[in-house]
Amino acid sequence: MILFLKRAVLALVSVTLVFLLEGCASYFNQPTRPQKARLGEETTITAELRKLPLPREKVVAAVYKFRDQTGQYRPSETGANWSTAVTQGATNILLKALEESNWFVPIERENVSNLLNERKIVRSSMAQYKNEAENLPPLLFAGIILEGGIVSYDANTITGGAGLRYFGAGGSAQYRQDRVSVYLRAVATKSGKILKTVYTSKTLFSQTVSAGLFRYVRFKRLMETETGYSTTEPSQMAVTEAIEKAVHAMILEGIRDNLWTVDDKQAKAAQDALTAYDEEKRLMSDTDIYGGRDVIDPSRVTIQPYASVLRYQGDYLTKGVRSGYGLLVESYLTPNFGIQLNAGVGTLASDMKFSQPISTLDANLIYRPQAFRRVTPMVFGGAGVVNFRNGDLWGLSNQRYWKLSGGAGLEYALNNVLGIRASVEYNQPLTDALDGRVFGKYYDYYWKGSVGVSLYVGRSGRRASSQKAKQAAVK
């Protein structure tokens, strides 16, 4: 019994460690008592704002209202729903970002009526206590007006999780990703012309991790224990980071378009910042909303030698596993669709029952949905022939059978020349005599797993042409 308890506790500790290592900071910083107020947290973009090159002269900017435009005001079955998805203090966040950048002189416009009323009170007081009323200095007027807002909040853009439980012990993890988008534009006060518009987005990540044990350790003795944690990225921090990124992008876009100029001593720093910004824009042009990025130009022809494992299942109860090898050649008509020729040799065997060397030749259609990604899943299917061999590789017999095959694989491109692929394939010969016995109503079949090195020959050029078209559109 003691040994059983030790094993149970060890299993629980192992599962718990696996799921908690990723979020150990959150797990070991759980609040156990009230905490005092502290200064607000900063985002990673705040430091980038402060590192921007200094301007020759700061720009006076006004922000009247930077509000939530996510369209959350909608009717429901119980009446109007006036709740909003994000913070309503986005104007305050934008003004703080403008101040942190050291590029703008933000002036009060959101509550300008309060300011005007207070100035009236000052004038009245000055006129009462002095013979002549002293004039107040005029209000600053803005060279540009910053407009825009939070245009979308998309919940559950990605959800998922994993779990494992065995004999009452196990753990699970779930995650969710939301997304907030921000638009910011600069408007010239004198002409009303929109000088520049930028668009940024930020994801919000939430996760739940738990582990537990539920088991009878002996008669009428039940042991149950559980632990876990949940973390949710604050939406206010995500909105802050997106707005700060928009201000950062607006400043650099304005430098490039000569809307404002940097200090003469900061020319080198400005050029470095623009180079880094251009590289970031180039990467984002190849990135989708889920964070996937097109990084390679898919090949026209792929050649792959591979090693394989064949697992027979047929009229014999015992199942054998034997090794093999082969070579496949793929020619792609489009970046996604292609034709595959696959030649291989191996052995079908049932332990201590039979062993038959075979050669196979297949013609398949292949589809890779993410041809431009470094990690590419693929599915394939087609028909072929399996031929019995007599001894050596070229000693083919007259026993050959048609077969159908299909499978799936995963390929990782190391570079534009080499890659690694692993695949699993199901083969269904159109005969029940593959193992020399005809028994039952189902045909014999076998599984084939393979791992090989892919050699890419020729590039499609689609990614390069797509990038040129995007760059031309931006210009």
What pLDDT, on a 0 to 100 scale, did the predictor assign at position 78? 58
Which bin fits 423, alpha (ψ -120 to 50), beta or left (φ > 0)?
beta
Residue 280 binned pLDDT confidence (cut-offs 50, 70, 90): confident
Q: What's the token pair of residue 209?
A: 């991790």
Residue 4 binned pLDDT confidence (cut-offs 50, 70, 90): very low
Q: For residue 196, count CB atoms less than 10 angstroms from its CB and return exposed for 0-12, middle for 13-18, buried for 19 or more.
A: middle
What pLDDT, on a 0 to 100 scale, did the predictor assign at position 419? 92
Q: For residue 434, count CB atoms less than 10 angstroms from its CB and return exposed for 0-12, middle for 13-18, buried for 19 or more.
A: buried
What pLDDT, on a 0 to 100 scale, did the predictor assign at position 5? 46
What pLDDT, on a 0 to 100 scale, did the predictor assign at position 21? 54
pLDDT at residue 153 above 70? yes
**Cα–Cα distance between 157 and 65 in angstroms, integer?**
28
What pLDDT, on a 0 to 100 scale, did the predictor assign at position 410? 94
Average pLDDT of 153-159?
Answer: 87
What pLDDT, on a 0 to 100 scale, did the predictor assign at position 307? 94
Average pLDDT of 290-303?
Answer: 80
> Please, are residues 149 and 180 in contact by the beta-carbon 8 Å criterion?
no
Which domains are delineated in the chain? Answer: 2-23+45-73+84-125+140-285 (3.40.50.10610), 299-462 (2.40.160.20)
What pLDDT, on a 0 to 100 scale, did the predictor assign at position 255? 92
> Please, are residues 176 and 191 in contact by the beta-carbon 8 Å criterion?
no
Q: State pLDDT tens for residues 8-30.
A: 445 545 545 554 455 555 666 66
**Cα–Cα distance between 176 and 207 in angstroms, integer?**
6
Report how far apart, in Å, the C-alpha atoms of 214 and of each of 190, 248, 331 are: 72, 52, 54
What pLDDT, on a 0 to 100 scale, did the predictor assign at position 248? 94
Residues 6+ away with beta carbon under 8 Å from 430: 401, 402, 403, 404, 443
pLDDT at residue 420 above 90? yes
Q: State pLDDT tens for residues 340-356.
A: 999 999 888 887 677 88
Percent helix, strand and coil across the chain, each to the nearest 5: 25, 45, 30
User: By C-alpha distance, which of 361, 351, 370, 343 is closest to 435?
Assistant: 351
What pLDDT, on a 0 to 100 scale, did the predictor assign at position 76? 56
What pLDDT, on a 0 to 100 scale, did the predictor assign at position 14? 55
Residues 6+ away with beta carbon under 8 Å from 210: 19, 171, 172, 173, 226, 227, 228, 229
Scan for tokens 């921007």, then name that residue.
52
> Please, are residues 72 and 85 in contact by the beta-carbon 8 Å criterion?
yes
Q: What's the token pair of residue 133?
A: 């009323």
pLDDT at residue 150 above 80? yes
What pLDDT, on a 0 to 100 scale, did the predictor assign at position 63? 92
> Please, are residues 222 and 196 in contact by the beta-carbon 8 Å criterion?
no
Q: State pLDDT tens for residues 171-181.
A: 899 999 999 99
Does this model's pTM top 0.85? My answer is no
- Please state the φ and ψ torsions of residue 75, each to the nearest 5 degrees: -75, 155
**Cα–Cα distance between 91 and 146 in angstroms, integer?**
10
Q: State pLDDT tens for residues 118-144.
A: 888 888 887 777 655 567 788 888 999
What pLDDT, on a 0 to 100 scale, did the predictor assign at position 243? 94
Q: State pLDDT tens for residues 61-104.
A: 999 988 888 865 555 565 555 556 777 888 999 999 999 999 99
User: By C-alpha distance, which of 182, 187, 197 is closest to 253?
Assistant: 197
Residue 284 binned pLDDT confidence (cut-offs 50, 70, 90): confident
Q: State pLDDT tens for residues 220-233.
A: 788 888 888 888 88
Percent of the chain with pLDDT over 90: 34
